[in-house]
Amino acid sequence: MNIDNAMFAFAGIMILLSVALTAFVSPYFMWFTAFIGANLLQSSFTGFCPAARIFRLFGLKGGCAFK
């Protein structure tokens, strides 16, 4: 698994978690979903993602997006 695949998996898990929290706990968790979307959008333009740096520290190899 490379950093790109890990980022897709991590983003998907976080979005599903935030949707579940919104449905079952509080509608204010929708802000968490918005934060995840904003982070994905800015990382697509800048190439910077804090989670990608953390995955690199765990020893994952870079992919096409995060080298």
Distance of alpha carbon 1 from alpha carbon 63, whole angstroms: 9
**58 vs 3, 5, 62, 63, CA distance in Å?**
10, 14, 12, 15
Residue 37 lies in a domain: yes
- Asked which of 20-24, 33-37, 38-42, 62-66 is least confident by mean pLDDT, the reply is 62-66
Question: Residue 9: which domain range?
Answer: 3-57
Checking if the pLDDT of 59 tops 80, the result is yes
The dihedrals phi and psi of 63, each to the nearest 5 degrees, come to -110, -150
Q: Is residue 64 part of a domain?
A: no
Number of domains in the chain: 1
The chain-wide mean pLDDT, for the chain, equals 91
**Residue (of 41, 43, 37, 38) closest to 3 by Cα position:** 43
pLDDT at residue number 44 = 86
